[in-house]
Chains A and B, each alone.
Chain A
Amino acid sequence: MTTASSAPQAPPIESRGYARPEVLVSTEWVAGHLKDPAVRLVESDEDLLLYETGHIPGAVKIDWVTDLNDPVQRDYLDRTRFQALLRARGINADTTIVFYGDKNNWWATYAFWVFRLFGVEKLKVMDGGRARWVDEGRPMNTEVPAYPAGTITVAERNDSAIRSFRNEVLAHVQGRGQLVDVRSPEEYTGQRMHMPDYPNEGALRGGHIPGARSIPWARAVNPDTHCFRPASELKQLYQEEQGLSPDKETIAYCRIGERSSHSWFALTYLLGFRDVKNYDGSWTEWGNAVRLPIEK
């Protein structure tokens, strides 16, 4: 590596045994495609203004609150507005979209998941995220790029394949289906109703959905390299320690469906689980709803 890197080396993506390694690209790969017109870098962060303080040259910003959510109803954008969002960022049908962001790519995988609801193909995540890019001393700038309007046409949003709703989750619980709670252990046990150090975003009851296994989302990432752990370690965590089967339908949830999109990504693409859904209603719905079963 030629950069002034303070980041510990991570094993090459191809060597990590993932089911679908093509969804990840390295920082090095991105550095080599900064001027590639067929590649669009998309930064998605928790902090609304982080992109403005500096980003990978040429990257556009998509914000999880102000861009992807419907401003009125608790739901995602509809097809028309989502397509307009992508076109405004110069995305065409053949554009390869590479997401990256803060907090272990938490919001990057969330954006990835939302894009998949609309059937957008050619999506990738930059392994290691913003933190790794910064640690490696790679270039950043504050210039907001302007691209000619894109021409992509997206499909109607199709929630059925990768999104779960309350009643489906309830049926899944009753059928003793596989559930993953990716929140912190304290949220899982009901000791607290929000992440440590995070505000309580309004759940009346604490605990977890009956039968859910507790596997905090960030365990899928190596904290030193910020990169995803190799498949062998992920398998150890999800399958051997927690007994999840890759062949059974799996539902992941957290508080509002953002952290669980990260686990959805790891289970689906890195471990090759057959059928994983993200329940974005998550604890802010379940912990407030009347008569839904809760386990502590």
Chain B
Amino acid sequence: MPATLDKIVSRFKSADKQTRLELLLDYSKKLPSLPERFQQARDHGFNRVPECQSPVFLFLEREGTGLVLHADAPREAPTVRGFVALLAKGIQGATPGEAAALPGDLLDQLGLSEALGMTRMHGLTAMIGRVKRMAGEL
């Protein structure tokens, strides 16, 4: 796992359920806006994560030797926004190989399955899968 993400996981692991939700909410406020250059693709519906209940768009690109994840998610879906922002931070600068090897049970490791409830896990899980696949294709 990329070192930053590993740190985030430890932070979540040591927190109680309520604190994990607060951390997620903090992340949701920190998601940078989608850079202008992706806007057109987004408006055409490219790179949407179809499993997500809200319109979520992910763009993964190389910057130097590492990766940067850009994303767009609506403000009315703070849970999704928060998780995207967490992922973006966690894999920033990671190699494509590291991102492709993200653990599929990341949400469990973060203790979010427990905090959010299982019925809310599918879209978020799909997002991890999407990032892994995109990283594998880079």
Contact = CB atoms under 8 A, between A and B. Distances in A.
Interface residues of B, number: 23
Contact of B76 (A50, A198, A201, A256): A50
B117 A49 contact: no
A48 B117 CA distance: 9
Interface string B106-138: 000000000011011011001000000000000
Interface string B1-43: 0000000000000000000010011001000000000000000
Nearest to B28: A49
A66 B115 CA distance: 8
Q: Which of A49, A52, A200 has the most CB of B within 10 A?
A: A49
Contact of B50 (A46, A49, A53, A197): A197
A186 interface: no
Band of interface residues on A: 10 to 19
Contacts of B21: 48-49, 52
A47 B79 contact: yes
B53 A198 contact: yes
Interface of B: 21, 24-25, 28, 50-53, 55, 75-80, 82, 116-117, 119-120, 122-123, 126
28 contacts: A46-B53, A47-B79, A48-B79, A48-B120, A49-B21, A49-B24, A49-B28, A49-B78, A49-B79, A49-B82, A50-B76, A50-B77, A50-B79, A52-B21, A53-B25, A53-B75, A65-B116, A65-B117, A65-B119, A66-B117, A102-B76, A198-B51, A198-B53, A199-B51, A199-B126, A200-B122, A201-B119, A256-B119
